[in-house]
Amino acid sequence: MTEGVAQSVRLLAGRYQVGELVGRGGMADVHVGMDTRLGRRVAIKLLKPSLANDPAFRTRFRREAQDAAKMAHPTIVRIFDAGEESVRESSGAETLIPFIVMEYVDGRLLKDIIAQGPVDPAESCRIIEQVLTALEYSHRAGVVHRDIKPGNIMIASTGQVKVMDFGIARAISDSSATIAETSSILGTAQYFSPEQARGETVDARTDLYSTGVVLFELLTGRAPFRGDNPVAVAYQHVNSDALAPSSLNPAVSPALDAVVLRSLAKDRFERYQSAAEFREDVEAAASGSVPLRKQLATNDFNATLFGVNPSSVAGSEATLRQLTVDTDERVARTQNRPPVAWIWAGIASMVVIIAAVIFWTFNLAPAQLTGHVSVVVPSVAGQTYEDGSKSLTDKNLVPQKFTEASNTVAEGVIIRTDPEAGTTVTPGLQVNVYVSLGETPATVPNVSNMLEADAVKAITDKKLTYGSTTTTYSPDIKAGVVIDSDPKGGSTRRTDGTTIREGDTVNLIVSNGLVQVPDVTGQPIAGASATLTALQLNITVQVDDSCSGGVVAAQSIVGDNPQKSPITLRYCGKP
């Protein structure tokens, strides 16, 4: 086990050599590293040890890292490996350091580039287009980043944009850490979406809002909302409208203004609905075109009133001009006025139609009325995943299985859903189903070279159960000192592949202080001497000229003997 945390953790997982510190954040430190097995340069992110105190975080961290590792795209920093390293502090306390091994990118963080001032609009658009390409890929894979900000975007020396830390924000925000803790980990509130600030469920549009904040900062050199503390900034995200970037940087075009302000809409339904849509408008604005806002059809409201379309010119001078125009200025009629009877017949028909629609609407069953636009998440907690997922599928929802440890819910049984039961959602929405893994997973402590009593205490401190002690021979470990454990120290799984959990039994293998001296008579003196030297015995060799062959003729001790025992070998020295 390594000693110390900051400086002496030199090798992770027996393979990754930790090198120079190249970055430091509220959540982690980043080092240059080397994968000694494959001989390639990597970046190693060491998360704060405080995060590992929560077993739920460790479970989510592993799951999210595995999901992020599946993503392979030129605009996303690859994750090669992730895990936890057991480390002993200088005080003697043992802790776990979560780590991520990532692709090494030779370049600069976007936050360092923005710190030098506004970026040229064309270059800003190029950067954001690649960020949105990364998000389009991740969103299709079902991964929402949750923490898009300049500190998580790298610009390689080749100009390639790389987005990193997919899934890590989710692992942190889903853990049992307090709001104060997570806010310090996730960084400033400058890139929060309104729904994040309100503590609501987030989706892909949250990433698009944060990307809009990054685009604003690229164009102006500052974030759209600033305050004395994170709470003040979060309040502005919810309640204040952003300025047009051109008001701070005249080089920004009106088209780019429109793109940025739409991306920063408070209502997520008014925002861009996909990364592809956002990217298309950025490309259009960068080329000098004005992005066309796609609007929903408004059937009934597109009818004209006295030749005026109220939905397109309501509140404008055009409306007033057309409604107050003199009769002589209007287009002359080309036919006579319809008979009064026709007018009354039309009115009567409209009344009948409206009455029928009202009657039909009020007589619909609630399920018929809302079945096509919303659905209520059913309660599936306490069911198996197979039964619960069927209930969700029957409601036209898409179940997505996640697992986590639970000391109260049996293995394989659903703990909860997100969104929770009773929430009204749109059909086709993904519902995260959290299934119990059973008791909390545990890691066997490394108790080698401890006294037996101390090893038993270390095992029970980890909420594991001490089983039994087996003694065995050792040439150098003193009697009563632990040689090994079963399962071995640092293990999270047994040899059969099952997970080690709190309460599981750990057995000890302890030195009996003896060595078992073999009978080496009749063997060549060189081989016999090597065998006994490996047992760390004190060997004395005597030559017997009465026999020949160079073999051992006799030895002073054999069988069980104390460590470091003296032994005399007599061998035949006659040619």
Residue where a domain stops, chosen among 269, 286, 303: 286
CATH number at residue 146: 1.10.510.10
> Does 292 fall in a domain?
no
What does the mean pLDDT of the chain come to? 81
Decide if pLDDT at 325 tops 50: no
Residue 516, pLDDT score: 93
Q: Are residues 225 and 138 in the same domain?
A: yes
Lowest-confidence range among 173-177, 374-378, 454-458? 173-177
Residue 296, pLDDT score: 42
DSSP states of 327-346 as a string?
GGGSPPPSSPPPPHHHHHHH
> Does 226 fall in a domain?
yes
Contacts for 346 with CB less than 8 Å, ≥ 6 apart: none
Q: Are residues 163 and 41 in the same domain?
A: no
Give CA–CA dist 303/225, Å, rounded.
41
The pLDDT of 367-383, averaged and rounded, is 71
> Does 71 fall in a domain?
yes
Residue 330, pLDDT score: 37
Residue 363, pLDDT score: 57
- The percent of residues in the chain predicted with pLDDT above 90, rounded, is 45
Picking from 405, 400, 376, the residue whose alpha carbon sits closest to that of residue 388 is 400
pLDDT by residue (tens digit) across 537-554?
Answer: 999 999 988 898 889 999
pLDDT band at residue 311 under the 50/70/90 scheme = very low
CATH number at residue 500: 3.30.10.20
Q: Are residues 500 and 526 in the same domain?
A: no
Report which of residues 344 and 473 the model is more confident about. Answer: 473
Whether 147 is catalytic: yes
CATH number at residue 48: 3.30.200.20
Q: Are residues 506 and 522 in the same domain?
A: no
Residue where a domain stops, chosen among 55, 80, 103: 103
Decide if pLDDT at 321 tops 50: no
Residue 327, pLDDT score: 37
pLDDT band at residue 90 under the 50/70/90 scheme = low
The two three-digit tokens of residue 121, written as one number = 């609009």
Look at phi and psi of residue 183 and say left if phi exceeds 0, alpha if psi is from -120 to 50, else beta.
Answer: alpha
Residue 368, pLDDT score: 44
pLDDT band at residue 373 under the 50/70/90 scheme = low
Angle (nearest 5°) at CA 365 between 362 and 369: 75
Question: CA 404, 407, 412, 417: dihedral to nearest 10 degrees?
Answer: -50
The pLDDT of 116-136, averaged and rounded, is 95
Lowest-confidence range among 72-81, 318-327, 502-511? 318-327
DSSP states of 501-552 as a string?
BTT-EEEEEEE-SEEEE---TTSBHHHHHHHHHHTT-EEEEEEEEEEESSBE
Decide if pLDDT at 235 tops 50: yes
Give CA–CA dist 367/180, Å, rounded.
42
> Does 325 fall in a domain?
no
Counted domains in the chain: 5
Q: Are residues 122 and 81 in the same domain?
A: no
Residue where a domain stops, chosen among 512, 540, 559: 512
The pLDDT of 421-434, averaged and rounded, is 86
pLDDT band at residue 337 under the 50/70/90 scheme = very low
Q: Are residues 507 and 563 in the same domain?
A: no
Residue 559, pLDDT score: 93
Q: Are residues 111 and 222 in the same domain?
A: yes
Residue 145, pLDDT score: 87
The pLDDT of 468-494, averaged and rounded, is 92
Q: Do 282 and 257 touch, CB atoms closer than 8 A?
A: no
pLDDT by residue (tens digit) across 5-43?
Answer: 444 457 888 889 999 988 876 677 889 999 988 889 999
Report which of residues 405 and 234 the model is more confident about. Answer: 234
The pLDDT of 411-418, averaged and rounded, is 90
Structural domain including 500 reads: 452-512
Q: Are residues 407 and 466 in the same domain?
A: no
pLDDT by residue (tens digit) across 177-201?
Answer: 433 344 333 345 889 899 988 888 8
Residue 91, pLDDT score: 65
Q: Are residues 265 and 199 in the same domain?
A: yes
> Does 310 fall in a domain?
no
Residue 500, pLDDT score: 87
Residue 137: its H or E element: helix 121-140
State pTM to two decimals: 0.50
Report which of residues 358 and 473 the model is more confident about. Answer: 473
Catalytic residue among 54, 67, 112, 147: 147
Q: Are residues 472 and 404 in the same domain?
A: no
> Does 75 fall in a domain?
yes
pLDDT by residue (tens digit) across 42-69?
Answer: 999 888 777 766 677 777 777 777 777 7
> Does 293 fall in a domain?
no
> Does 337 fall in a domain?
no
pLDDT by residue (tens digit) across 341-368?
Answer: 667 777 777 777 777 766 655 554 444 4
Lowest-confidence range among 123-137, 330-344, 481-495, 561-575? 330-344
DSSP states of 37-105 as a string?
TTTEEEEEEEE-GGGGG-HHHHHHHHHHHHHHHT---TTBPPEEEEEEEEEE-TTS-EEEEEEEEEE--
Q: Are residues 163 and 44 in the same domain?
A: no
pLDDT by residue (tens digit) across 151-183?
Answer: 899 999 888 999 988 766 565 555 434 333 443
- The percent of residues in the chain predicted with pLDDT above 70, rounded, is 80
Decide if pLDDT at 229 tops 80: yes
Q: Do 75 and 160 touch, CB atoms closer than 8 A?
A: yes
The two three-digit tokens of residue 235, written as one number = 């309040």
Q: Are residues 142 and 175 in the same domain?
A: yes
Q: Phi, psi (5° rounding) for residue 363?
A: -100, 0
